[in-house]
Structure 1
Amino acid sequence: MILYNITVNVERDVEDEWLQWMKSTHIPEVLSTGMFHENKFFKIMHDSEDTGSNYSVQYFAKDMHQVMSYQHEYFDKHNAIVQQKFPKKLAIFITLLEEV
């Protein structure tokens, strides 16, 4: 199993809107691609002096082939929507983890 983890720093002035949009729109759209079979969504708990809050958006795939298919077929479209909706309000880092 592969964990496709997206760590997001969200500026506080759009945090509530972003959370609602993630839960109601973005996560369901990513899951509807069929490339991931499960999702988890966490707020990262730590004291931060920066201007935002940090979240981990986790998608679970059967294998690396599904992750690569998502990247090639859907990532650019989904990323463009995120950037258009929340311009310069998010810092995003993607990490891939393999279950051992």
Structure 2
Amino acid sequence: MVLYNVTVGIDPDVEHEWLDWMQSVHIPAVMHTGMFVEHKVFKVLSQEDEETVSYSIQYFAKDIEFVMKYLNEFAPPLVEEHKNRYQNRHVAFRTLLQQV
């Protein structure tokens, strides 16, 4: 199992609208690609930066080939849509982890 984790720091002024959009539009679009078998969303409770509220969006894939296909074929327009919608209102970083 491989975990593709996206951590997003979002401006508190748009937090609720962003979370609703993520859960109703963005995450379903990612899952619709068929590259992931499950997802989870966590709010980060311990934060150093009080200017943003952070969330961890976790996507689980059977193996790394599915994640690589997602990143190469499906992610660019989805990432661009998120970037354009929340321009200057978020920061994001991605981590790829393998279950041991």
TM, length-normalised to structure 2: 0.96
Equivalent residue number for residue 83 of structure 2 = 83
Residue 61 of structure 2 aligns with an amino acid whose one-letter code is A
Residue 14 of structure 1 aligns with an amino acid whose one-letter code is V
**1:59 lines up with 2:59 in the alignment:** yes
C-alpha distance 98-53 of structure 1, shift in aligned 2 (>3 A): same
1:34-74 deviation digits (Å, cap 9, x = unpaired): 00000000000015443110100000000000000000101
C-alpha distance 8-47 of structure 1, shift in aligned 2 (>3 A): closer
4+ runs deviating over 2 angstroms: 47-50
Name structure 1 gaps, 5 residues minimum.
none
Range 25-34 or range 40-49, more displaced: 40-49
Equivalenced residue count is 100
Residue 27 of structure 1 aligns with an amino acid whose one-letter code is I
User: Does structure 1 conserve the Cα–Cα contact (< 8 Å) formed by 2:47 and 2:54?
Assistant: no
Provide the identity percentage. Answer: 44
C-alpha distance 47-6 of structure 1, shift in aligned 2 (>3 A): closer
Equivalent residue number for residue 43 of structure 1 = 43
For 1:47 and 1:8, locate their aligned partners in 2 and report how far apart those are by CA, in whole Å: 12
Equivalent residue number for residue 72 of structure 1 = 72
